[in-house]
A and B are shown apart, each in its own frame.
Chain A
Amino acid sequence: MTGHAPRQPSQHAHRAEEPGEMSSATDSEALAGLKDHVIVCGTGPTAQRIIAELEAFRTGAGMRRTSGAIPPREYVVVARMREDIDRLRRRYPHMHVLIGDPTEDEILAQAGVQRAYGVFAALADERDNLFITFTARHENPDVRIVARTTDVYGTEPKLKAAGANAVISPSFIGGLRLVSETVRPSVAAFLDEMLRGRDTDLGLVEVCVQRTSALAGRTLRELSLPARHGLHVVALHTRAATEYAYNPGPEARVQAGDTLVLFGARASIDRLAAEAGPAPQEEADG
């Protein structure tokens, strides 16, 4: 399919009451005008959470810690059943909707997958998400695709192979979080502080060592980061190795292209990052 034909009904869409139907005439125009938007496939609990987050972006409440670098984005929710859409729309009257089967090429095209920034494949059925991922990747090589799965061991590799940039399993991350907050509450509170940085100026940050950096080619003992900067080297990721080396010893040598994971005051880390090289550092996400 080329371009977009919002008014043209899909020939193959099924299960929808009226395939490819917009909620109103203004919707079709709005959809055709969307660019760099996000497509949300599904209306289940996961998709509802995604929509709530997107709405928070839009209204400026945003995710905690989200910097101004992320502009609010328009989004369109694609779902098979009108009732599900209507229920959501009562809460979020501004959202764009498209009723139809998101596993259909035509429906994804109507949602503007060729011009979209990203696609959430958040249906309950694994195979549907696999199909959406595959189709979206085919239609738009640059679109960012985040897919949901319940089967970490079986479906996740397939979703990755089909072109998903990230795959999230509710049972996996939910189970881990549940255990974590129950059996190690202090760690959970600690990480929360580290990652959100509410009450503390400390952080856990990765710093990439540039070629021109003064750090390159020296051992940790020579750098003596704990003494000079009050920074702990939690891990060292050398370019040669695929794994992080945790709590590296004093003889470990830092090379250009290596990544240091540091824990300490953010100000110290900033100072060190300036030494490490000009590339901006990124903060890990919780």
Chain B
Amino acid sequence: MHEPIRRRIIRATLLIGAVFVIGTAGFRYLLGLPFIEALYLTVITLTTVGYGDISPHADMPPGGNAYLVKLFTILLIIVGMGGFLYFLSIVTEYMVSGEMSRARRQGRMRRRIDGLRGHWILCGAGETALHMARELGNTARPFVLVDTDADRLRALADRLADLCYVHGDATQETTLARAGLERAAGVLLALPDDKDVLYALLALQERKRATGAVLRVAARTTDWQKTGPKLRAAGADVVIAPDGIAGRRMVSEMFRPSVTTFLDRMLRDTGTVLRVEEATVAPDSALCGVPLEQSRIRERTGLVIVAVRGPDGTFAYNPGPQQPLAPGDVLIAMGEMSQIVHLRRLAGAA
């Protein structure tokens, strides 16, 4: 019902500017005052300060039209004070309503998104996506959340610190572009409608073909029997049906109640500190060509390297001290997240 507050602020500013210009010009002309005196008189009149050192009455030049000066002053006060109050009320509203901080937050967020590289784009802000957002956050992986519901995004931004989000339709390429698609590592599709997921997958597939971009694409489906294979055919690298996994897991819980809880905690619990994580050895990393023992990863990070996966996908399990590290090797480690961030730094570019 209101026009944007930004536009109202501009209008009020213009209005008050015009009042000051007219007031200054009028006093200058009618009273023959120098510019600075005329401006001064206008300001003390409109702010109702009225020191009395200059006044239309006392500074009336000889032969001046007192009637005209008074009429001008009356009009200036009525129009000018109204405008001044209007201006003040709008500025107050802007600050009080949080529009200002929101606008600033938006600007900051846009700059943060523009600075992201190798991040993940998470489409959908439902229950599943919320858990995904938490997991990405917990494992120190940057991501941008995309959803069509602005209110829900704002509510999530209050719950998840430093959340980057883009308001828009994830099936539209312009929306994904705003989320930094050309710099992203991949896209996770958790949209409520499987048809939207399929559409988005095909659009991404087309883009990958056209630009040769390397993108990892994952899709959630609500139907583990029928839609899953279609999504895979449409180019999804990973397809997950939460209901199917849940059913499997419920059966496992039913018949293997005594199964130990360690992996459960490690892999699933939100409060867990131990994680199994990976770090890829960059071509110019200091680790390249160094045997595992000499890399001193254990001493420097406190991590146990439980396996090394070569670029061809084969695993060296429980690698010995002489295991050489090469570019493209993926180190699989168990430890706390801070240690893993440390390992990622070691394995990254020197």
Contact = CB atoms under 8 A, between A and B. Distances in A.
Contacts of A169: 246
A50 B250 contact: yes
Interface string B246-281: 111111111111111011110110000110111000
Interface in A181-209: 181-187, 189-191, 193, 195, 200, 202, 204, 206
B218 A182 contact: yes
Interface residues of B, number: 72
B281 to A, nearest CB: 12
A215 B259 CA distance: 23
A285 to B, nearest CB: 4
Interface stretch (A12-20, A25-33, A77-85, A228-236): A228-236
Given A49-B248, A150-B127, A190-B309, A206 B276 contact: no
Interface stretch (B37-45, B96-104, B219-227): B219-227
Contact of B264 (A202, A283, A284): A284
A219 interface: no
B250 A146 contact: yes
B129 interface: yes
A221 to B, nearest CB: 15
Interface stretch (B12-20, B54-62, B332-340): B332-340
Interface in B310-350: 313, 315, 317-318, 330, 332, 334-336
B213 interface: no
Contacts of B276: 184, 187, 190-191
B246 A170 contact: yes
A46 B265 contact: no
A54 B251 contact: yes
A182 B189 CA distance: 11
A179 B132 contact: yes
B223 to A, nearest CB: 7
B141 A183 contact: yes
A49 B224 contact: yes
Interface string A115-148: 0001010100000000000000000000010101
A160 to B, nearest CB: 13
Interface in A63-118: 63, 66, 70, 118
Contacts of B126: 171
Interface stretch (B66-74, B80-88, B200-208, B234-242): B234-242
A38 B251 CA distance: 10
Nearest to B247: A49
Contacts of B220: 174-175, 178
B198 interface: no
Contacts of B225: 45, 48
A157 interface: no
A222 interface: no
A44 to B, nearest CB: 7
A173 B243 CA distance: 9
A52 interface: yes
A282 interface: yes
A263 B243 contact: no
A264 B304 contact: no
A47 interface: yes
A168 interface: yes
A173 B273 contact: no
Contacts of B141: 183
A166 B262 contact: no
Contacts of B259: 282-285
Contact of B128 (A148, A175, A185): A175
Interface in B105-155: 120, 126-132, 135-136, 139, 141
A46 B246 contact: yes
Given A122-B250, A173-B246, A178-B190, A246 B334 contact: yes
Given A53-B248, A202-B317, A234-B334, A178 B188 contact: yes
21 contacts: A66-B255, A70-B255, A170-B128, A174-B220, A174-B245, A176-B135, A178-B190, A178-B238, A184-B277, A189-B313, A190-B306, A190-B307, A191-B267, A200-B315, A204-B263, A246-B334, A259-B262, A263-B306, A283-B259, A284-B262, A284-B263
Of all A-B residue pairs in the complex, the 7 with the closest CB atoms, nearest first, are A174-B242, A49-B247, A175-B131, A45-B243, A170-B246, A284-B263, A170-B242
Interface of A: 38, 44-50, 52-54, 63, 66, 70, 118, 120, 122, 144, 146, 148, 150-152, 165-166, 168-187, 189-191, 193, 195, 200, 202, 204, 206, 230, 232, 234-235, 237, 244, 246-247, 259, 261, 263-265, 282-286
Given A46-B247, A286-B263, 7 more contacts: A48-B225, A63-B248, A173-B249, A175-B131, A181-B240, A246-B273, A247-B335
